[in-house]
Amino acid sequence: MNKTIFDTAQQAVEKIAQEFKMYSEQAQPVHISLSGGSTPKLLFKTLAQSPYNTEINWKNLHFWWGDERMVEPTDPESNYGEVQALLFDHIDIPAENIHRVLGEKEVQGELIRFEQEITDCVPNQEFDWVILGMGIDGHTASLFPNQTDFDDERLATIAEHPETKQLRISKTAQLIEKAKRITYLVTGQSKAVIINQIFANDPKAQSYPAARIKASNGNTEWYLDKEASELL
């Protein structure tokens, strides 16, 4: 697995921000799947500032989410709401480029609608870039250990948080693996043990969706800060 270790989380998100600019200069629309969590907050704040807020051709970028909680977009737990407040409210991006899961809707109906939107908008259902985080239990998106069907051929699935029982809609492992590029953005000392297990091919890591989900025909890479990689 390819990994790049940065001194700080800020350096990691700066690298991703620079790549957003490169993607935005392509001739065709680019479909990017975002992640929730603490490190992406840093990314969104960085993108909302100069020079990225004005130099990126936002009209060429289409944004999706790896997962979303079934809550109102104004709820503090909404992944979309977080990006709206930290980034979208500060840049010039067409509304039609934002493809959110409607967390306020009934979950079964929204699952069907979301899958149809992916089918209609994303060529061959192959995302150009999927940015993922990783929880301290090894989950990614809302694909949790011992709950994930890695053979699910649907585009999205209804997931339940193992502790809170909160409902979410998540991209499936198979859809994520169709992406042209997958980047795991993982920072912080709390992730160091699991990162070490993944890169050491520890048998325990086979239960972690983040260890198993990789691009089938594209590139998979890990962007780590020093704290997350300290045991490597």
Backbone angles phi, psi at 143, to 5 degrees: -105, 105
Please report whether residue 147 resides in a domain: yes
Confidence of residue 53 (pLDDT cuts 50, 70, 90): very high
**8-46: burial string, b at 16+ Cβ within 10 Å, e else:** ebbebbbebbeebeebbeeeebbbbbbbbbebbbbbbeb
Provide mean pLDDT across the span 19-37: 96
Domain residues for the domain of 120 are 2-225
Q: Is the pLDDT of residue 51 over 90?
A: yes
Please report whether residue 44 resides in a domain: yes
* SS3 label, residue 92: coil
Domain count, the chain: 1
What confidence tens digit (pLDDT) does each residue in 90-136 have?
999 999 999 999 999 999 999 999 999 999 999 999 999 999 999 99
Please report whether residue 95 resides in a domain: yes
For residue 166, the domain's CATH number is 3.40.50.1360
Give me the pLDDT at residue 38, please.
86
What confidence tens digit (pLDDT) does each residue in 5-21 have?
999 999 999 999 999 99
Provide mean pLDDT across the span 143-158: 97
Cα(162)–Cα(204) distance, rounded to whole angstroms?
19
Backbone region of residue 224 per phi and psi (left: phi > 0; alpha: psi in -120 to 50; beta: other values): beta
128 neighbors 179 (Cβ within 8 angstroms): yes
Tell me whether strands 167-171 and 67-69 are parallel, antiparallel or unpaired: antiparallel
- Which token pair is 208? 């972690």
Distances (CA, A) of 3 to 6, 122, 186, 196, 216: 10, 27, 11, 12, 17
Confidence of residue 37 (pLDDT cuts 50, 70, 90): confident
Please report whether residue 230 resides in a domain: no
Please report whether residue 231 resides in a domain: no
What confidence tens digit (pLDDT) does each residue in 171-230 have?
999 999 999 999 999 999 999 999 999 999 999 999 999 999 999 999 999 999 999 999
Q: Is the pLDDT of residue 154 over 90?
A: yes
Please report whether residue 37 resides in a domain: yes
Give me the pLDDT at residue 184, please.
98
Distances (CA, A) of 16 to 22, 56, 63, 177, 203: 10, 12, 15, 20, 31
